[in-house]
Chain A
């Protein structure tokens, strides 16, 4: 086992990893920016190395300084957390070259899943369903019509070079297709310098369901069941995540789990990863992408399986075999995570910065708060606005929802604006209670509260 691990991250996830190391008897090294001098991760770690000024590019994404922090501290391994260097193959390679172990997948697997088209191809080869559509760019309207006819309407026209939702058009029937094709192609050309389009089946009212997998370096791959992340804001950022997925039967879980494991094996995956799927209203699922890192919402999986994902990642990186088999994985109860952010719901979720004057967090049985914040902590403008994750567990979903409401009621932050009032309203919503969710829920919910005055 490693004796010293450097955590190449900040915020709650750095604290989370440091805690895991402490339990395992491993010394920790934090890296921090000048703006994070008083951040909890710096104070919690056994050692800390300042790697630059506040902005991410100067510090947490300053490759030279982070690598040198590994070298001068003598850390044997590096946990990247999520974001930052976690899905950068060149970082994993650079660590290798200075003799430190990257706690994550091999660079080849990061690269294989980083290219969306290649990832889809790999999933297909693994026998995993993918969203039906064209594999090659569509040259003209006639070809688009032919492909759309084959896969069935509605379809999406997507820019080959696209991203962030731009250059996407939804087509309901053949009569609309030629006009929308020309528009989408022109938009793609203007935005990305490439007018090539793909035609893809439009999955109606989809749920976002993802499978957590763990793979050791000895060929064992298991999955820890699913998480549902359909409650997303207008920028497709997840707000509430839960496990298990309420509409998941044992049979669907087994099929999706097996599909996720097959995808992981296809690319020689090691360590923790997440395979994301869209699930339609009739229970068909389609591969979306694979995240080759620890995810923000991993604690809901930990809550229902009892598996410490971060500690398992460290054991895998140290060469240990997985300590359990698929048949040992049991889902017990229901867990929900709410992302608490320093954003003002009354000002269109504008980021809020400043000193936290009061910090009162909920507790009790089945309540976990992962955070780097505390009373007196200064929220700097450079970083992601998430300041805490509230994770609740209950015997079943209704119990978990009740606990979420009670915990949000007891969560008080003063000095900065937070989204807690918004989370309370979301958790109180009858549709949320019933679990009738899809990825457009928040958009409709925001429409409902618009003009309702205060969001208290």
Chain B
């Protein structure tokens, strides 16, 4: 799709939705475009602007219990990539739970002593601008 007129496609799609069409086929010069539409599909939100901020979950690396949560941690705390935030205790062994990136804690999803499955989100960090 070298030189496609995106505006033309958008216009055709919104027109098709408005009229309740199920399928759209568009030919612009050499380029063909086709799409299936579901009657109930809400109009797509506009593509987001280039992300300058990103939210990254702090996920448990093992199944275990959340432990040794750093007491100073709270929503709004600044953390550095690789910094230990807490531990996950499994079979008597502690595994460090570290910050996957630098930024600000925007939520804390688990409490001290809480059981965690693999990959469970313990906290969410909003990446610092420019760190992307």
User: Is B117 part of the binding interface, using a Cβ–Cβ cutoff of 8 Å?
Assistant: yes
The 5 A-B pairs with the shortest beta carbon distances in the complex, nearest first, are: A72-B115, A68-B63, A65-B63, A50-B117, A50-B118
Q: If the complex has contacts A49-B63, A51-B63, are A68 and B91 also in contact, measured as CB distance less than 8 A?
A: yes
B62 A34 Cβ-Cβ under 8 A: no
Is the CB–CB distance between A52 and B115 below 8 Å?
Answer: no
Q: Does B103 contact A (CB under 8 A)?
A: no
Contact A34 B63 (CB under 8 A): no
Q: Hey, which bits of chain A sit against chain B, CB under 8 A?
A: 34, 49-52, 59, 64-69, 72-73
B64 cross-chain contacts in A, Cβ below 8 A = 68, 72
B contact set with A: CB distance below 8 Å: 62-65, 90-91, 115-120
User: Closest CB of chain A to B34's CB: distance in Å?
Assistant: 20
Known contacts A34-B118, A64-B63, A72-B64, then 19 further A-B pairs from the complex at CB < 8 Å, ordered by chain A residue: A34-B119, A49-B117, A49-B118, A50-B63, A50-B118, A50-B119, A50-B120, A51-B117, A64-B91, A65-B63, A67-B91, A68-B62, A68-B64, A68-B90, A68-B91, A69-B117, A72-B65, A72-B115, A73-B115
Q: How far is the CB of B35 from chain A (nearest CB, A)?
A: 20
Contacts of A68 in B (CB 8 A): 62-64, 90-91
Which B residues are in CB contact (< 8 Å) with A69?
Answer: 63, 117
In the complex, what residues of A have CB within 8 A of residue B63's CB? 49-51, 64-66, 68-69, 72
Q: Distance in Å from the Cβ of A354 to the closest Cβ of chain B?
A: 20
The DSSP consensus for interface residues of chain B is loop
Can you name 16 A-B residue pairings with CB atoms under 8 Å?
A34-B118, A34-B119, A49-B118, A51-B117, A64-B63, A64-B91, A65-B62, A65-B63, A65-B118, A67-B91, A68-B63, A68-B90, A72-B63, A72-B64, A72-B115, A73-B115
- What B residues does A51 contact at CB under 8 A? 63, 117-118
Contact residues in B for A67 (Cβ distance below 8 Å): 91
**Complex: A449 Cα to B129 Cα, angstroms:** 64
Q: How far is the CB of A99 from chain B (nearest CB, A)?
A: 13
Task: Report chain A residues within 8 Å CB of B115.
Answer: 72-73
Give the CA-CA distance A414 to B125 in the complex, in Å: 42
A52 to B117: give the CA distance in the assembly, Å. Answer: 9
Query: In whole Å, how far is B96's beta carbon from the nearest beta carbon of chain A?
Result: 15
Closest CB in chain B relative to A97 CB, distance in Å: 10
Enumerate chain B residues within 8 angstroms of A73, measured Cβ to Cβ: 115
Query: Complex Cα distance A372/B91, Å?
Result: 31
Centre residue among B90, B118, B119, B120 by max chain A CB count within 10 A: B118
**Identity of the chain B residue whose Cβ is nearest the Cβ of A69 in the assembled complex:** B63
- Report the Cα distance A49→B119, complex, angstroms: 10
Determine the chain A residues whose CB is within 8 A of the CB of B65 once the complex forms.
72
- A66's closest neighbor in chain B, by CB? B63
User: Considering the chains assembled together, what is the distance between the CA atoms of A203 and B122 in angstroms?
Assistant: 60
Q: Point out the residues of chain B lying under 8 angstroms from A64, CB to CB.
A: 62-63, 90-91
Q: How far is A64 from B120 in the complex, measured between Cα atoms in Å?
A: 16
Residue of B nearest to A33 (CB): B118
